[in-house]
């Protein structure tokens, strides 16, 4: 039946082709026209889905705090007026966008974990909250398709965090139990943010775009907030874990000659994710698994004198450094139980590790030293 159908289609194309065109050219033309039609429908569906999510975000925020949404509508109106002025005075709007809702707003904001920590403390300042409320740009003030993939979820999550800050200061009344009733909206918003960040980390640009820094800032604020993180991780843990896995693979697989600046940025984001106790446990398990597998592969290659991936060898040190820092943090926070981060993965890592270090120490002394330091942290009294 399929062969007959294909033959019938071929005859139909041959009989209906316009003069001056070959059957092949006409077939390619028809295929292109149909694919463009399909693309048009897909694009319309994506636009409608994005609009549905935006409306659900607005509805959820309104349920949590009606007063905040009323105030925000007034600010959106003033922002639209500002956008009208921008057509005659472009510099005025760009200066307003410098403070887009996060205290950290420059490209070097995440040069160290210490600066990110300062940001987390300053975002709870009441005056900062009021300034933020006055400067939130509406959703339609974005310029590129890549920015759009981050602007929508970032804007929604920024407003959610601001409601949290204002309610904590007694300025607003908010009911965050509504987050339990609408898991779709929060999950999709977080998923879009994580997907957008993954796209940028896969093909980084320098200097780092400010909206990328802003997206990371919002994500870290969300998972370190004592109340909101529980709601988010309960519904989005698998997605967050997938994001961690993606970042680890980006570090391991990157073969670019000038990759270290980009990988440094990715490793800092992983370190920041580890500030959340639940994500830290998951991240430690993932890192232990990757470092163990590489150590075993390197030992096998060394024993049979075969080639090994030198680029991956260089990249693995970033994972070792992140792992060491997370384990040190775990050790320092003695009031937090660390037995949940994967006893099975810990046992796998330690099993036969002495032999691996013994065989690799002459040829790969630095890597062996990192393995030993990680094993010391795993075996320390606080880590039992």
Of 231, 257, 275, the domain-final residue: 275
The answer to whether the Cα torsion of 296, 300, 302, 303 is positive or negative is: positive
**284 and 367 belong to one structural domain:** yes
**What's the pLDDT at 47?**
84
Nearest CA-CA partner of 370 in 309, 308, 325? 325
Q: What is the mean pLDDT of each run of 10 residues along the chain (384 residues)?
A: 87 84 85 77 83 90 81 54 43 36 38 40 43 38 56 90 86 82 88 91 80 88 87 88 94 86 88 89 93 94 90 93 90 54 80 91 94 90 44
Chain centre distance of CA 199: 9
Question: How far is the CA of 304 from the CAs of 243, 251, 301, 319, 366, in angstroms?
Answer: 35, 27, 5, 26, 21
C-alpha–C-alpha distance, residues 306 and 109, integer Å: 43
- Asked if 249 and 167 sit in the same domain, the reply is yes
Do the domain assignments include residue 48?
no
- The residue behind tokens 């420059």 is 106
- Count how many domains the chain has: 2
State how far the alpha carbon of 164 is from the alpha carbons of 84, 169, 227, in Å. Answer: 31, 9, 9
CA distance 355 to 348: 13
Residue 359 lies in a domain: yes
pLDDT at 209: 78
185 and 255 assigned to the same domain: yes
Residue 86: both structure tokens together: 């921008």
Name residue, tokens 């920015």: 147
Q: Do 181 and 121 contact (CB within 8 A), yes or no? A: no
* Domain match, 184 and 256 both: yes
Is there a domain that residue 21 lies in?
no
pLDDT at 333 (0 to 100): 67
- Of 243, 260, 275, the position where a domain reaches its end is 275
Distance between CA atoms of residues 271 and 277, nearest Å: 12
pLDDT at 301: 92
What is the structure's pLDDT at 246? 94
Q: Are 330 and 338 in contact (CB under 8 A)?
A: yes
193 and 165 share a domain? yes
Q: What is the pLDDT of residue 72?
A: 64
What domain range includes position 175?
144-275
Q: Could you give the CA distance from residue 368 to residue 346 in angstroms, rounded to a whole number?
A: 17
> Would you say residue 325 lies in a domain?
yes
The answer to whether position 25 is within a domain reads no
Per-residue model confidence (pLDDT) at position 147: 65
Q: 364 and 318 in one domain? A: yes
Residue with tokens 């030993």: 372
269 and 153 in one domain?
A: yes
Is residue 69, in this structure, part of any structural domain at all? Answer: no
> What is the distance between the alpha carbons of residues 46 and 184, in angstroms, rounded to a whole number?
17
Q: Which of 124, 80, 86 is nearest to 102 (CA)?
A: 124
Residues 245 and 321 in one domain: no
pLDDT of residue 73: 61
Both 292 and 212 in one domain: the answer is no
For 364, list phi and psi in degrees, rounded to 5.
-130, 70
Q: Are 295 and 301 in contact (CB under 8 A)?
A: no
Threshold 0.75, pTM exceeds: no
Residues 264, 149 share a domain: yes
- Residue 208 three-state SS: coil
- For 19, phi then psi, to 5°, come to -65, 145
Q: Decide: helix, strand or coil at residue 98.
A: coil
- In a domain, residue 352? The reply is yes
Q: Same structural domain for residues 163 and 285?
A: no
Q: Which of 231, 251, 275 is the last residue of a domain?
A: 275
Taking the C-alpha atoms of residue 320 and residue 325, their distance in angstroms, rounded to an integer, is 9
Do 266 and 290 belong to one domain? no
What pLDDT was estimated at residue 98? 38
Is 109:115 a contact under the CB 8 Å cutoff? Answer: yes
pLDDT value at residue 74 = 59
Does some domain include residue 8? no
What is the model's pLDDT at position 9? 84
**Gyration radius of the chain's alpha carbons:** 26
């Amino acid at each position: 039946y399929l062969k007959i159908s294909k033959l019938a289609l071929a005859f139909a194309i041959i009989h209906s082709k316009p003069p001056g065109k070959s059957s092949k050219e006409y077939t390619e033309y028809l295929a292109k026209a149909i694919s463009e039609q399909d693309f048009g429908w897909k694009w319309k569906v994506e636009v409608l889905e994005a609009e549905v999510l935006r409306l659900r975000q607005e509805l959820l925020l309104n349920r949590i705090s009606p007063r905040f949404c009323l105030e925000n509508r007034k600010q959106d109106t003033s922002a639209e007026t500002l956008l009208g002025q921008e057509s005659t005075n472009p510099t005025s709007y760009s200066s307003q966008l410098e403070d887009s809702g996060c205290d950290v707003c420059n490209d070097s904001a995440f040069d160290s974990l210490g600066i990110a920590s300062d940001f987390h403390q300053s975002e709870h300042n009441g005056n900062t909250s009021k300034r933020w409320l006055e400067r939130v740009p509406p959703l339609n003030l974005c310029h590129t398709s890549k920015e759009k993939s981050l602007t929508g979820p970032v804007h929604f999550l920024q407003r959610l965090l601001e409601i949290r800050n204002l309610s904590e200061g007694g300025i607003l009344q908010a009911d965050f139990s509504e987050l339990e009733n609408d898991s779709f909206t929060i999950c999709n918003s977080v998923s879009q943010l994580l997907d957008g960040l993954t796209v940028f980390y896969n093909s980084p640009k320098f200097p780092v775009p400010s909206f990328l820094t802003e997206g990371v800032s919002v994500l870290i604020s969300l998972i370190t907030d004592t109340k909101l993180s529980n709601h988010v991780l309960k519904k989005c843990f698998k997605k967050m874990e997938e994001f961690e896995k993606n970042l680890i693979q980006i570090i391991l697989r990157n073969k670019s000659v000038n990759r270290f600046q980009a990988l440094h940025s990715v490793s800092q984001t992983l370190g920041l994710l580890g500030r959340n106790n639940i994500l830290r446990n998951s991240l430690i398990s993932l890192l232990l698994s990757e470092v163990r597998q590489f150590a075993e592969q390197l030992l096998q290659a060394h024993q049979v004198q075969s080639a090994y991936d030198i680029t991956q060898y260089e990249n693995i040190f970033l994972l070792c450094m992140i792992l060491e820092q997370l384990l040190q943090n775990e050790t320092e926070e003695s009031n937090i139980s660390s037995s949940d981060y994967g006893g099975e993965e810990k046992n796998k890592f330690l099993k036969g590790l002495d032999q691996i270090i013994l065989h690799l120490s002459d040829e790969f002394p630095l890597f062996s030293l990192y393995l030993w330091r990680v094993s010391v942290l795993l075996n320390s009294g606080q880590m039992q």
